[in-house]
Structure 1
Amino acid sequence: MESASANSIVGMVPQAMAPYWSKAGVDVQLALNQTLTKSLLKIARNKLDAAVVPPPAFSALQKGVGPYAKIADVAKESSKNVRGLFSMPGSYYHAITWADSGIKNWADGKGKRIFIGPPAGAANRQITTLVAAGGLPKDDYDGLKAPWGAATQSFQDGQFDIYVGVFGLGSQSLSELSLSHDIRLLGVKAENMTPPEGLGMQAAVIPANTYPGQVNKKDVITWQTLMMMAVNKDMSNDTAYKLTKTYLENRITLAESSATFRDLPITDYFVGVNAPLHPGAIRYYQEIGIAIPKKLLP
């Protein structure tokens, strides 16, 4: 199984779940710090059993576009080998500016330099859509791209005026950043709080005073990424069943163990799933009486 960085929520959840899966009879060999669009392609090409993937990546694979444009025909055909198990909540988008920057809302960001994610991937579309939902059209600012790992330091070095990054709610690294220099968080407008379908996100709130150097007096509406646990269609029904059952039956336990996992129990089973469900997952949902959307049935 592959996932993102070890300190991201989508990396932390599989790590936390590994002992539970092992107890259920599924030995998960976890590889972290992976590029998830590549992980998805490995599943589709029968080279990997499972990975946490962004739903927009699967849409791109089906259409042979984005990171798969150069192998469009192969991507479209191999997408038929991917199945979904369940949704997972990801990180929160935080649109950050220094409190003394003079930027108090998105309108103040006109003509400014805004970090919009890595050079390739689903984040660019997600961030530009989020910024537009805040009231700043795409053509009204200078969108800059850089690897996630370099973004925070680049912001501290003054390369961005607004840094739209992904963090778990209450992130320690963001808390430390705010202690070094007060920050302001920019949100989306209330009437735009629901993200467009297909972006792989859901509405979320960053409460006032979440970070020690946060100057916002009111809660900030933002968007939270959604992920899908994707597997190869040839995974055994028993393994897919155990992965699904064990995760869903231990979500509350994880949430009680750490505030990082607070969103696990309240995230809908299917909100981030856009691949057909694996028969093993279908078996579990049917056992507990959960209605499955027709579009997710193979």
Structure 2
Amino acid sequence: MKFTTIIAAAACAVALPAAAQDKSDWPSSLTIGTGSQGGTYFGYGSGFGAMISEELGVNAGVEITGGPVQNVTLVESGEHQLGFVTLGPADEARRGESPLMPGVPHENVRALFPMYQTPLQAAVLASSDIESFQDMAGKRVGVGPAGGTSATYWTRFFENAEGYEGVNISNAGGSDTAGQLKDGLIDAFVYAAGLPTGAYAQLAVENDVRFISMDDETLATMKEIVPAMAEFTIPANTYEDQPEDLQTVSLWNFAIAHQDMPEELAYAITALAMENHERMMTNHAAAKETLPENVAKNTVIPFHPGAARWFEENGYEVPSVD
């Protein structure tokens, strides 16, 4: 697999974890699997990589990937030391249902900390005749990069929901898909990323755009096809040309590591994310949900002992996962 590697540069100072760590078994560098440019993972990860590089003394580089489905396998195999995943693909991979490694349970993956929710989103140009999801039947629809949360679940929806015959799926990164919509190469851009999503924000600034809200039927169908989904509201004015709330569904995101990550490093990375909320918010606005109380949202990936120790020391109950 070929990826574009971007080494996170040093950023402004943040508070170091209070306790000194034994760094004797720490690596000199680590790689964070993120997602496509224009997606939330990339911006969130670039900023967090800079924090790790400066504050922990470990050179953290971020790699553009296809997203969670790929990230969980890259961490499982040890090719990446850190990655971002949504809980749906992570749970499926743990049960041996990853499309990249079918039949191979991903048993080495461990959770570190909660990130934010990923809502499913959809937009068309204002000149389009698409006014609902049902209108996408027979249309060209961009679903984001192959292997990502967006492509995985939107494709599953279109293939299994009734009334969507003839949807022509297109795969590309978030920014590229937005460009394809602008250029008329596709009819709709459906995606999954934290708020605000850069690709949609730029699209709405540069073009007249209509964002599509899920009706009750679409919500019910999506939750039936993907039981891990929960209802979610995208607040009005998250983007230009979006004066009203949008109803949709979402999945939680967590940072993950290989079980062989040194315990003190896992502790320090978790502490860095959980103890520096304002700095995390400067990495990406979606980090407003990067809060320790959201540790309870993960009931599918076992926690790394180092991460679990941080939460327990700070009074948060860590869910038990079989």
> Quick check: TM above 0.5?
yes
For 1:94, which of 96, 114, 121 is the aligned residue?
121
1:46 is matched with which residue: 59, 78, 83?
78
CA distance in 1 between counterparts of 2:214 and 2:231 reads 10
Cα pair distance change 1:256/1:195, threshold 3 Å? farther
Q: Mean alpha-carbon deviation: is it higher for 85-94 or for 245-254?
A: 85-94
% identical aligned pairs = 21
The RMSD of aligned alpha carbons is 3.5
Q: Does 1:209 align with 2:240?
A: no
Q: Where do 1:75-224 residues align within 5 Å? A: 75-76=104-105, 79-89=106-116, 91-128=118-155, 137=162, 139-148=164-173, 150-166=176-192, 168-171=194-197, 173-189=199-215, 192=219, 195=223, 202-212=230-240, 214=241, 216-224=242-250
Q: Which amino acid aligns with 2:89?
A: A
Do 1:128 and 1:138's aligned partners in 2 also have CA atoms closer than 8 Å?
no
Which segment is superposed worse, 86-95 or 172-181? 172-181
Contact 1:130 1:223 in 2 (8 A): no
CA distance in 2, matches of 1:242, 1:115: 39
1:238: Cα distance to partner? 0.9
CA contact (8 A) 1:88 1:267 kept: no
Question: Following TM superposition, by how much is the alpha carbon of 1:237 offset from its aligned partner in structure 2, in angstroms?
Answer: 1.2
Ranges in structure 1 where 5+ consecutive residues have no aligned partner: none
SS in 2 for 1:4: coil
2:247 aligned counterpart, secondary structure: strand
What count of residue pairs does the alignment treat as equivalent?
287
Is 1:284 equivalent to 2:310 in the alignment? yes
| Corresponding residue for residue 58 of structure 1 | 90
Please say if 1:230 is aligned against 2:256: yes
In the alignment, is the contact (CA less than 8 A) between 1:113 and 1:144 conserved in 2?
yes
Q: Give distance in 1, aligned partners of 2:281 and 2:206.
A: 30
1:82 alignment partner AA: V
> Which residue identity lines up with residue 309 of structure 2 in the other structure?
R
> Which residue identity is paired with 2:162?
P
Question: Do the aligned residues in 1 keep the contact of 2:52 with 2:58 (CA within 8 Å)?
Answer: yes
Pick aligned residue for 1:254 from 277, 280, 283: 280
Correspondent of 2:319 among 278, 293, 297: 293
SS at match of 1:101: coil
CA distance in 2, matches of 1:266, 1:46: 26
Q: Are the aligned partners of 1:255 and 1:265 in contact in 2 as well (CA < 8 Å)?
A: no
Determine helix, strand or coil for the equivalent of 2:302. Answer: coil
Unaligned runs of 5+ in 2: 1-30
Which is further off, 190-199 or 55-64? 190-199
Aligned amino acid, residue 62 of structure 1: R
Deviates more, 1:265-274 or 1:25-34: 265-274
Q: Give how far 1:176 is off.
A: 3.9
Letter in 2 for 1:210: T
Contact 1:26/1:242 (8 A) holds in 2: no
Q: Secondary structure at the residue paired with 1:94?
A: strand
**Contact (CA 8 Å) 2:146, 2:172: kept in 1 or not?**
yes
Q: Residue 190 of structure 1: CA displacement?
A: 5.6
- Give 1:34's match in structure 2, choosing from 65, 81, 88: 65
